[in-house]
Amino acid sequence: MSSSAEQVEMPRAVSVSSSDDELMVQFTDGRSISVPLSWYPRLEHATREERQVWELIGDGAGIHWPAVDEDISVLSLLRGLPSNESQASLRRWLAGRGG
C-alpha cells in the first residue's frame, strides 16, 4: 500500500492589528491568531502608532514593523514561538530609544 503526503500550503498573513496587550494576525486560510504582545518586547514597548505601521514581507510569509525594526514570521506565529531576541539586545535597543 502506498500513500502520498498531502501538500499543505503555508498560510500567509493578510492583516495585522494590535491592542495594548495582544497582537492579532489574520491569514489567507481564514484563521486568526492572537498572541500576547509581551511575546514581542519591541512591539510591547512601541507606541500604538508605531504598531499600526506594518508591512507584509515575503508575500505575507512575515510581518515587519519599520519603526521598531521587528520582524515576525508566520511560521513562528503558527508554532507559538515568542521573540528570541536576547535581553542584552533588547536593553541596547531600549537605550537607543531613550527608554
| pLDDT tens for each residue of 14-43 | 999 999 999 999 999 999 999 999 999 999
Contact 50, 65 (CB under 8 A): yes
Q: Where does the pLDDT of residue 8 fall: very low under 50, low under 70, confident under 90, or very high at 90 and above?
A: confident
What's the confidence (pLDDT) of residue 99? Answer: 59
| pLDDT tens for each residue of 60-96 | 999 999 999 999 999 999 999 999 999 999 999 999 9
26 inside domain = yes
76 inside domain = yes
Contact 20, 58 (CB under 8 A): no
What's the confidence (pLDDT) of residue 70? Answer: 97
Q: What is the CATH number of the domain that holds 63?
A: 3.30.2020.40
Which range of residues forms the domain containing residue 33?
13-97
Total structural domains in the chain?
1
